[in-house]
Amino acid sequence: MRTLITNGTIVTADGSFAADVLVDGETIAAIGAGLAGMVQSDETIDATGRYVIPGGIDVHTHMELPFGGTFAKDTFETGTRAAAFGGTTSIVDFAVQSKGQALRTGLDAWHAKAEGNAVLDYGFHMIMSDVNDDSLAEMDQLVTEGVPDFKLFTAYPGVFYSDDAAIFRAMQQTTKNGGLILMHAENGPAIDVVAAQLVAEGKTDPYYHGIARFPVFEGEATNRVIRLAEAAGAPVYIVHLSVIDALTAVREARDRGTQAFAETCPQYLFLSLDDLGGGFNGAKFICSPPLRDKDPNWEQLWTGLRKNDLQVVSTDHCPFDFHGQKEMGRGDFRKIPNGLPGVEDRVDLLHDGGVVAGRISRERWVEIVSTEPAKLFGMYPKKGAIAVGSDADLVVYDPDRVRTISATTHHMDVDYSCYEGRAIQGGSDIVMSRGSVVVRNGVFTGRKGHGRFIRRAPADYARLA
């Protein structure tokens, strides 16, 4: 099957230009002006007035995550399907090692969840909850199997929490095997003290989830894990960075030459502590780190994205229904499952709030939602690029379309939207995964099981720093 995309404006991280794109089978076969008169194709897609961009890559999702006494609702099928509607063509999800388990057990379980179900290509990071001699040795094997990143937590004592010794040992291991440590950086033990004090005072509403998790707890933990990485001589990637205290730690580390990388998420750019108010409705907005004060954090995070102190915007997609799941925490915010839906909205929110609002260029938009995630997570130029030989993961994007986000029309398997009623400009007309059209003008044309495991290699972190 050969498909020709004509008359569009190709937008990449490096620049924009008018050209046609020829897709042959699963990959891009040619790029150039006037291809229409020169090549044969089975289908021609007219992209007049549209951007042609590499498909979005969301490197932080939690499909079917067992968490907070329940499970994140989207499966690999429903979650990747929703992602496709929003212009994302690859995800990297977090497989989980439970305490007392081998990494292998957790990774096998995630392969089983995804294989035959995912609509889009997917990779895995590995959550490590139990750092010991065996799991450290297993890390080396996982790197060779295309799972080169490992997430550890300074948060969630008793669940995913690792102490400094465990974190440091895992970092040392990556200096030998070439992998990357991803850190959830919040001071979990200190947060638990404050949370218990608030509950004892009768402050049990969702709002107090945001109060308990002081910005300095994220700043302290971010600085600490970066310092540990420096001591180990390892690169480090901070996930879901939410607040200026943590951003400052990353910026200072990068300024002194550390291979420190970080992502933020749409919820920290567009939602705030105010959303956690309003009684129990605030449960819809409970995630960790929590939503922060709008000022000065939103604009500081945008500045971080412009200046490359932040390299990636991912979603941390971890959806729980309001009814029946978030409701488990009525009367005690500590029992509300942590996590927000978002995999479907990321590319459009960043286009609207970033490009249309004049905060970032369209090239930087493509870079932070696709190209840089591909580079940092060992998928480039197979993914994240419009280049001959790259996978034909392409989006024909209408920069002018206006739509309103709503749970009544979204495709994520969750009963609310954090952005309900928000009008946004920009949307995907055609979404192509390895040469197959999976969404065409709002209609799903993909196939359960089309998605393949992306075997990733460690990146050259020194070069990307």
**Closest CB to Zn ion among residues 237, 280:** 237
Residue 316 engages ligand URP in binding (rule: CB under 6 A): yes
DSSP category for residue 120? S
From the CB of 401, what's the least distance to Zn ion, in Å? 30
Is residue 433 at the binding interface for ligand URP, with CB under 6 A as the rule?
Answer: no
Q: Confirm or reject binding of residue 318 to ligand URP (CB under 6 A).
A: yes
Rounded Cα distance, 410 and 319, in Å: 13
Give me the 41-80 binding string for ligand URP, x by CB under 6 A, dash otherwise: ---------------------x------------------
| The entry of Zn ion, ligand URP, none that residue 434 binds, CB within 5 to 8 Å by partner kind | none
Exposure b/e, 79-88, CB count within 10 A at least 16 = b = bbbbbbbbbb
d(CA 385, CA 148): 21
Amino acid at 330: R
Residue 313 in the binding site for ligand URP (CB under 6 A): no
288 binding ligand URP? (CB under 6 A): yes
Residue of 287, 310, 349, 414 that binds ligand URP (CB under 6 A): 287
Report which DSSP code applies to 371. Answer: I
Query: Minimal CA–CA distance to 257: which of 239, 233, 241, 238?
Result: 233
Is omega for the bond preceding 290 within 30 degrees of 0, making it cis?
no
Question: What minimum distance in Å lies between the beta carbon of 61 and ligand URP?
Answer: 10
The yes or no reply on residue 338 touching ligand URP (CB under 6 A) is yes
- Sites for Zn ion among residues 305-344 (CB under 5 A): 316
Q: What single-letter DSSP state applies at residue 369? A: I
Three-state DSSP class for 15? strand
In whole angstroms, the minimum distance from the beta carbon of 379 to ligand URP comes to: 21
**Contact partner, 287, from Zn ion, ligand URP, none, Cβ < 5-8 Å per class:** ligand URP
CA quadruple 120, 435, 367, 266: dihedral sign: negative
x/- letters, 202..241, toward ligand URP (CB under 6 A): --------------------------------------x-
- Please choose which of Zn ion, ligand URP, none residue 209 contacts, taking the beta carbon within 5 to 8 angstroms, the exact cut-off set by kind: none
How many residues touch ligand URP (CB under 6 A)? Answer: 9
Taken in order 192, 195, 201, 205, the sign of the CA dihedral is negative
User: Residue 338 Cβ, how far from ligand URP at the closest point, in Å?
Assistant: 3
Between 21 and 166, name the residue whose CB sits nearer to ligand URP. Answer: 166
CA distance 458 to 136: 17
- Which partner from the list Zn ion, ligand URP, none does 339 bind, CB cut-off 5 to 8 Å by kind? ligand URP
DSSP of 307-354? TTSS-EE---B----TTTTGGGGTT-GGGSPP-B--TTTHHHHHIIII
Residues 6+ apart with CB under 8 A from 195: 208, 209, 212, 333, 334
Q: Among 50, 81, 184, 284, which residue interacts with ligand URP (rule: CB under 6 A)?
A: 184
Work out which of 81, 184, 334, 375 binds Zn ion, going by CB under 5 A.
Answer: 184
Q: Is 346 in the site for Zn ion (CB under 5 A)?
A: no
Q: Could you list the residues that contact Zn ion (CB under 5 A)?
A: 184, 316
